Amino acid sequence: MTGHELFEAIKALLGPEANRHRGVDAPARRDTAIAGGSYRSPGTLVDGFRAGDADVDVRGIVVAARASTAVLREAHRLGANIVISRQAFLGDSQDRPVAKPEPALAAKIAFIEANRMAVLRLQDPRLSQEGREIAQAFASALGLREPQPGNPARGLVYPNKAMSVRDLISRVKSGGTTSTVRLVGDPGLRPVGIAFATETNRPNALTPLIARPDVGLLVAGEVHETETAAYIADAIALGQPKALLLVGSIAMEDPAAKRLSEALPQITPATVTYLSSSEELREVA
């Protein structure tokens, strides 16, 4: 099985992509052209090989929230030549090729190429049962079981009655992935509904989600603070029961990476290893 054949098998396992990717517009002709060529992208904004040569036979697979340099080195040590990254790893949110990469990025790309590795970005929500379970992995790790029906690319919404924002923060921190959460709003709020969205590349893309009457808390990896955080601050000042919890994209994608690693042995005999990613953030007194 080559890397490209692996990608085709993964798409069959996880199902078709959701119609939109967290509020990001469908790819324009320029996006398709940039993502095409040797990358063999299926025309999406995110999913596809973004570094290395995927024509190689798959010797081993590592799955991580982010294909950091530390993850790539460990993958090479383990003998894996395919690394699947949930998060961007080339400095650009869509992992588009860089004509003149700065020194650290150039060294990272050189390491991938020198060791005949390939990195597959795999983050778009997909619609089979396996695909939905991966998209819901972070919320599931917090004890939230069944989101409202709908397109997962527009965000996941979970009805809530008893849990406060403070309760949810405790669950996030007890998971061990992050301790650096930030909050806009009242930690004592018991939101009518909890929405999850990993990130957005477009200003105000998440405003329709938090503005919904059945959503009181938006949990996100990262947002445009000058738009989304400011909107929620204004909503609170106007008396609306809203809050924003930022937990970091690595914290949100780490459970999804683990769940994906558990699914892949269904489609490949290659050894699959999950590696935890460090968010590289710490609190400083």
Residues 145-174 have a mean pLDDT of: 89
Counts for the chain of helices (H) and strands (E), in that order: 10, 10
pLDDT number for residue 35: 37
Distance, in Å, from the CA atom of 123 to the CA atom of 47, rounded to the nearest integer, reads 6
Question: Cβ atoms within 10 A of the Cβ of 142, count?
Answer: 21
Please check whether the domain covering 129-250 is classified as CATH 3.40.50.300. no
CATH class, range 3-124+254-275: alpha beta
Fold equal for 3-124+254-275 and 129-250? yes
Q: How confident is the model at residue 152 (pLDDT cuts 50, 70, 90)?
A: confident
Cα–Cα distances (Å) from 165 to 31, 70, 172, 184, 211, in that order, read: 38, 33, 11, 11, 17
9-43: pLDDT as tens digits: 999 999 988 764 443 334 443 333 333 333 333 34
**Whole-model pTM?**
0.85
Distance, in Å, from the CA atom of 68 to the CA atom of 71, rounded to the nearest integer, reads 5
Domain ranges of the chain: 3-124+254-275, 129-250
Average pLDDT, the chain: 85
Residue of 30, 69, 27 whose CA lies nearest to 47? 27
Residue 66 above 50 pLDDT? yes
Give the percent of the chain with pLDDT over 90: 55
pLDDT number for residue 200: 59
Phi first, then psi, for residue 258 (nearest 5°) are -65, -45
212-236: pLDDT as tens digits: 999 999 999 888 788 888 999 999 9
What are 262's two structure tokens? 């558990």
